[in-house]
Amino acid sequence: MDAAEFRKRGKEMVDYIADYLEKIEKRQVFPDVEPGYLRPLIPDCAPQDPESFEDVFKDIEKIIMPGVTHWHSPYFFAYFPAASSFPALLADMLCGGIGCVGFSWAASPACTELETVMLDWLGKMINLPEEFLAGKDGQGGGVIQGSASEATLISLLAARTKTIRRVQLEKPELTEADIMGRLVAYASDQAHSSVERAALIGGVKIKNVSSDDTFSVCGSALKKVLDEDKASGLIPFFFCATLGTTPCCSFDKLLELGPICNKENIWMHIDAAYAGSAFICPEFRHLLNGVEFADSFNFNPHKWLLVNFDCSAMWVKKRSDLTGAFKLEPLYLQHHHQESGNFINKLDYYYFHWQIPLGRRFRSLKLWFVLRMYGVTGLQEHIRKHVRLSHQFEHLVLQDERFEICAEVVLGLVCFRLKGSNELNKALLKSINEAKKIHLVPCHLRETFVLRFAICSRTVESTHIKFAWQHISQLATALLKTWEQNHHQQLQQ
């Protein structure tokens, strides 16, 4: 395919995408296919000779679309939102066209520099303390990671290196392996599985801290486990606080936890993957109070800030903590500028020192396009609409006394269930997801099986919420009827 054909096919693809997104509502949100559906539909191996674009293009509707879960359907209420917007799509096209691999300043100066400035823009939008910003001569700064999991891992590894160095100074008789064997990381029992995974990767212990009856970790819970662990010779070194947990969007109490971490030399990382985007609205910013105690902070514009996946924003107070944990510098990545005194030039702005992979795409273009073409007010409207819709759904649930709300609705997630057994609620979820008019996923809150209703699509409106609730309500009525009959039969037997 040459540039001339790309002009033609690219425009066809733009129309296809516009059509797909404009009419997505008409597609069934969750596919009908059974596992293994795709393999029989395509050849066993790649063709020897080129096929035409038309051949490939017609297979999109034939082979791919029947197996797609439509994350941008206004009937999709599962997981958390995956951001999508037209400005981000345009920026990603440009990113692909430029096709640079920006692992160092010299590999494409614009790629490194725009990222640094965009993370400052974004940090200012959520009123992050200045220490987290790069500015012209700050010690902090932001970076785009691929996912919150990577941000958690990177911060845990930085904390591990920092703690090992400190303990080795204090107790030179301990080997690195001795110290590693005593390190403990902590996170809420509501924290995302990626925190446990980060500890597993880093080869350190991790313990759950019990959340309270609002599913938040408070200071006393952390203090209790720290005291026990220190008494038994362990070395607490890392705490991952969550703002907006995955199961129910609860918030750990930063203002209590932060001072404890600071006093105990524990790196506090904040994972606000979903909730973080809301902090651009002044009325939600208080949820971030206490961030001043943290060493690192992360949220995902690719969840709720209309920047297509992947774009996970992470900030640190001291970027030397990150770069110091990994710095390796082969000659083919060095550049004559790096010896100069200029800020951006310093080795710590070789972003590959901040992340797991070496290569990186020009992802800051997406932030630049989205922040400019929506403006802060446009993005605030998007957040506020979602929060309004979740309260609308909450209100509908509360009006039906068969149902209960299971956790405070703060942002765009409603946890709800039928009053009754877990089995009953599993049956309800099954009937919802088998009907495939809307799509939800469940969670456990303690021992309780709960349905999660997350406001996801950019284009979801009040009418979709009403429809979803009526649908759930009707399915519940039908379910309860059979359920009671079965129960009645069981009693008679």
Using CB under 8 A as the binding rule, the residues of this chain from 320 to 349 that contact a second copy are: 325-326, 328-333, 336-337, 340, 342-345
The one among 61, 165, 214, 357 contacting a second copy by CB under 8 A: 357
Q: Which long-range contacts (CB under 8 A, 24 or more apart) does 473-477 make?
A: 473/400, 475/428, 475/431, 475/432, 475/435, 476/402, 476/403, 476/418, 476/428
CB of 452 within 8 A of CB of 413? yes
The one among 232, 282, 377, 492 contacting a second copy by CB under 8 A: 377
Name the residue nearer to a second copy (CB basis): 35 or 493. 35
Helix, strand, or coil here: 450?
Answer: strand
Q: Which two tokens stand for residue 259?
A: 């001072």
Decide: is 62 part of the binding site for a second copy (CB under 8 A).
no
Q: What's the closest the beta carbon of residue 149 comes to a second copy, in angstroms? A: 5
Decide: is 467 part of the binding site for a second copy (CB under 8 A).
no
Name the residue nearer to a second copy (CB basis): 46 or 231. 46
Q: What's the closest the beta carbon of residue 174 comes to a second copy, in angstroms? A: 11
Decide: is 436 part of the binding site for a second copy (CB under 8 A).
no
Q: Site residues for a second copy, window 150-209 (CB under 8 A)?
A: 150, 153, 157, 160, 175-178, 180-182, 192-194, 196-197, 200-204
End-to-end CA distance of the chain: 72
Q: What's the closest the beta carbon of residue 477 comes to a second copy, in angstroms? A: 22
Number of Cβ within 10 Å of residue 252's Cβ equals 33
Name the residue nearer to a second copy (CB basis): 326 or 467. 326
Pair type for strands 235-242 and 267-271: parallel
Give the span between the Cα atoms of 453 and 416, in whole angstroms.
8
Decide: is 235 part of the binding site for a second copy (CB under 8 A).
no
CB of 301 within 8 A of CB of 307? yes
Q: What are phi and psi of 108, to 5 degrees?
A: 175, 95
Name the residue nearer to a second copy (CB basis): 254 or 380. 380
Name the residue nearer to a second copy (CB basis): 72 or 318. 72
- Residue closest to 363 by CA, chosen among 291, 296, 314, 295: 314
Q: Site residues for a second copy, window 73-132 (CB under 8 A)?
A: 79, 82, 84-90, 92-94, 96-101, 105-111, 113-114, 116-117, 120-122, 124-125
Decide: is 365 part of the binding site for a second copy (CB under 8 A).
yes
Q: What's the closest the beta carbon of residue 243 comes to a second copy, in angstroms? A: 18
Name the residue nearer to a second copy (CB basis): 18 or 255. 18
Widest Cα–Cα separation across the chain: 86
Pair type for strands 141-145 and 448-454: unpaired
